[in-house]
Amino acid sequence: MRIRAARVGELTTLQDVEVAAGRSFRDVGMPEIAGDQPLPLDELARYQEAGMAWVAADPGDRPVAYLIAARIDAGVHVEQVSVHPGSARQGIGRSLLDHVAAWAEGAGEPALTLTTFEDVPWNAPYYVRCGFRRLAEAELTPALRAIRRREAALGLDRWPRVCMVRPLAPPPRHGARPVRVRAGRDVRTP
């Protein structure tokens, strides 16, 4: 599976992937979520134009999954990850997350964040397996609080929601020398 930037001509395909992926919410008693409309084309276009939309493409270069994100005060916030059910359980979602984590790390961002349903198996429990941890209310940044308020206004709090974070490696300090450990003590290399 190849991960690459989303293209303008693929945005309707991303909507189709989102609708197909959303159907699985019926199986866990969330038909309202399963019936949600996909993100509008103009909104997807904004992510694509900003370079914040990625797809996992099959061997024929057709998107089977996508991830969109936005920069916020806590780092890079994953707004949406959708994998077509025909391509599920193949590590594609994790590959997209890892790809965006590497991109964000290279851009000097401190973390990936997301909000998700706490009790849905392919939501919070899955993200824990992908290196995320739940954030306590006191850890939420102003942007994460705003996102949660927006979600509540949309009615998503009908089901338990959680904010999560995946810390990224900090960028190396300019001019810092690597540290080696010898005989139990830190020694700066010359």
How many domains are contained in the chain? Answer: 1
- 45 domain-assigned: yes
Q: For residue 105, is it within any domain? A: yes
Residue 157's Cα: distance from chain center in Å?
19
Residue 182 belongs to a domain:
no
Q: What is the CATH number of the domain that holds 94?
A: 3.40.630.30
pLDDT in tens, 35-89: 999 999 999 999 999 999 999 999 999 999 999 999 999 899 999 999 999 999 9
Rounded Cα distance, 43 and 106, in Å: 25
Tokens encoding 57: 């493409």
Beta bridge partners of 179: 188
pLDDT digits (tens, 9 = 90+) for 104-152: 999 999 999 999 999 999 999 999 999 999 999 999 999 999 999 999 9
161 Cβ contact list (under 8 Å, min separation 6): 115, 116, 117, 118, 148, 151
Mean pLDDT computed over 87-92:
94
> Is 175 inside a domain boundary?
no
188, part of any domain? no
| Burial class of residue 165, CB neighbours in 10 A (0-12, 13-18, 19+) | buried
pTM of the complete model:
0.87
Q: Which residue has the tokens 């916030």?
A: 77
* Residue-number span of the structural domain to which 134 is assigned: 2-169
The answer to whether residues 81 and 67 touch, using CB atoms and an 8 Å cutoff, is yes
Are β-strands 111-117 and 75-83 bridged in parallel, bridged antiparallel, or unpaired?
parallel
